[in-house]
A = this chain, B = another copy of it.
Amino acid sequence: MDEWLVYLSGEIHTNWREEIEAGTEDADLPIVLTGPVTNHVFSDDCGIAILGKEEKSFWKDRKGAQLNAIRAKTLIEQADIVIVRFGNQYKQWNAAFDAGYAAALGKPLIIMHDPELTHPLKEVDAAALAVAETVEQIVDILRYVIRGELKPMSAVSAAE
């Protein structure tokens, strides 16, 4: 296995994907990161932009969501690991949907969110092999899982 395919699902309003990319590049990990289209306007409008306008927002949304599903379904099914981040705002039901989808496929699942979301996310977390709060933890997990390395400092603090 030359490269690990890691799908990054969920929040699109912060730059956590770029931070993970920077962190895993710094660590020189053999990872290919994939994820949804994160341009919010494109993601909402792709269906009608390509396939024609709709009167009803229901069908506009359906057309767009189904195009996004072509990408998400394909990349999640090919992923070795699926990471889903929940931000503190918004419904983010698509993130939870992706987590359920990945869980049913038996993909190793890592969930990332702030501690105050612990209770509402408990069923999602319960399907995960790791629940992280920071990008640094995500990078550390990937480094450990792929290379078997722990950062000196954390190893030390663990041994305390």
Contacts and interface: CB of A to CB of B under 8 A. Distances in A.
Interface of A is mostly: helix
A51 to B, nearest CB: 6
Contacts of A96: 93-97, 100
Interface in A39-56: 39, 41-42, 45-46, 48-51, 53, 55
State the copy count for this chain.
8
Interface residues of A, number: 89
Given A42-B150, A45-B159, A46-B144, A97 B123 contact: yes
A95 B125 CA distance: 14
A13 interface: no
Nearest to A119: B61
